[in-house]
Structure 1
């Protein structure tokens, strides 16, 4: 942990080779975002560990959230005091159909320009840093064909699948090959790249999909995964369902957001791994900005010109002056809870620090931007605007 350079696992072969292109050969419009991701990737790869249980881990709580008809939003969410854990009570994915009918073989050109033909999806692996891809496979109705999982696949239905990533999020080619997969869907957030090449050399069709995560990519990732698995019709159904869920959720959020712009909370996302002394602000282009604006809150990192993955410093926090700090649950735990977070550079001096206003959520959900996105927004909106309606009260967690 703590490395600042992109690991070899994040590099691929040059464009024009038989095996596809490296992330660094993306089109210029995307290059800065990808380079930023690669800069922070080692921290994410080594920092995410399995949840340790309990409300603070951000896993599903013991109760249900208050029905929306009974939600009473705060008159001024900027003045609320105390921490909150945003919790998705039910993290399982309902498939759009129980009888998916793949049309195979399916030939696709993946995001790296590599043409891949998938002839069977009887044994699927869908692996990425966020757990998004496996969740999408479940949504398409093919979850029973998954034969393994990555560290970040936290949906309950996948809990008993064998783990095929080691050291956090490193692909283990031997463990993957032992499962005899007929297709692997992945992106450039996992490594080492040599493991991907080994799998391709062994005859496993590998489809590389987009690595960016935001509200805008929820539907496009469904399209990419559905095309690779020969279930385009199911993909259209799932994308339509997710679009409707997101639209309904954002309409609901609009009903509890203060009408006065001055009362809308100013929010910033902090990434922390206290055991390594690693602290970042996730700003423009990180995905956190998309999350915050979807909640109708003020993205203060973007407003302050803070880039996608910026080392935390007191000057930036003083400039941003957030009312609320969003964090991953394990990240908050790693610094010693709220008290520890207040000792990070510049945090105690912000309005959020003075009010102990930290909202944490499961590492495996908050930035996944997959089939759970509407429920993630629901939990976060409640935490921001109506904290008494969350599924698990924050004060019930060990801080």
Structure 2
């Protein structure tokens, strides 16, 4: 409808991968007729992405999405959270299921996450960390028993934009610190 009204519409990739970030920058730069600035920023972003740890780390991460009015969900494969977890060289604890799935006690226990990740707003929605560990089965997992939690900026981690490489480094550092517990 917007395009039919004569407004120029530019489509930016929604791909949840690090490799898509520089292309998103270039697309926006072209739309704004700021190609040279976009090219420089895209190169800078490519350098940041290249500096991310490449070595796999056998840490299982459970990403929980909690929005008000909805049941708490676990991120499976084919999600932005899965892309972020894998980009950090980590394992998605729910990687065997597609999309976001409602948390179930059996599923969470079987997934046996080493680390739980949740957005700042999601944790507030649940009422805080104490309520998080009350979610079905979570207290019975390695992460729950040790209260291993990373609270993160959801858009930075899942948006696959300018802040995503830093969020992925934060995720990786949290996973690496588990080996020192």
Give the structure 2 partner of residue 215 of structure 1. 18
Instruction: Pick the aligned partner of 1:312 from 92, 103, 112.
Output: 103
Q: State the SS of the aligned residue for 1:327.
A: strand
Match of 2:159 among 368, 372, 375: 368
Deviation by residue 1:287-308 (Cα, 9 ceiling, x = unmatched): 2112112222222221xx1112
Structure 2 counterparts to residues 237-386 of structure 1, below 5 A? 237-250=40-53, 254=55, 264-273=58-67, 275-302=68-95, 305-386=96-177
- After superposition, the C-alpha distances for 1:261-310 in whole angstroms (9 at most, x for unaligned) are 6xx3211111012x4242111111102112112222222221xx111211
What are the within-5 Å matches in structure 2 for residues 59-208 of structure 1? 197=1, 199-208=2-11
What's 1:232 paired with?
35
Task: Report the Cα distance in structure 1 between the residues aligned to 2:150 and 2:17, rounded to whole angstroms.
Answer: 19
Could you tell me how far apart the structure 2 residues matched to 1:211 and 1:369 are? 8
SS in 1 for 2:157: coil
Scaled by the length of structure 1, the TM-score of the pair is 0.41
Larger Rg: 1
Matching of residues 12-27 of structure 1 within 5 Å: none
Q: What number of residue pairs does the alignment pair up?
A: 178
Poorly superposed stretches of 4+, deviation over 4 Å: none
Q: Secondary structure at the match of 1:385?
A: helix
Contiguous gaps of at least 5 residues in structure 2: none
Give the Å deviation of 1:327: 0.6
Task: Find the aligned partners of 1:348 and 1:202 in 2 and give their Cα distance.
Answer: 54
- What is the CA deviation profile of residues 215-259 of structure 1, one whole-angstrom value per residue up to 9, with x for unaligned ones? 2321221232223223333333222211111112326xx5xx8xx
Q: What is the CA distance between 1:200 and its match in structure 2?
A: 3.8
Secondary structure in structure 2 of the residue aligned to 1:242: helix
Higher helix share: 2
> Separation in 1 of the partners of 2:148 and 2:10?
42
Taking the aligned partners of 2:7 and 2:76, their CA distance within structure 1 comes to 37
Instruction: State the alpha-carbon separation in 1 of the partners of residues 163 and 108 from structure 2.
Output: 30
What root-mean-square deviation, in Å, do the aligned CA atoms of Structure 1 and Structure 2 show? 2.2
Inter-partner Cα distance in structure 2 for 1:201 and 1:294: 38
Separation in 2, partners of 1:300, 1:230: 43
> Which structure 1 segments of 5+ residues have no match?
1-196, 388-399
CA contact 1:268–1:326 (8 Å) conserved in 2: yes
TM-score computed with the length of structure 2 as normaliser: 0.86
Distance in 1 between residues matched to 2:82 and 2:29, nearest whole Å: 27
Q: Is the 8 A contact 1:246 1:373 kept in 2?
A: no
Structure 2 counterpart SS, 1:376: helix
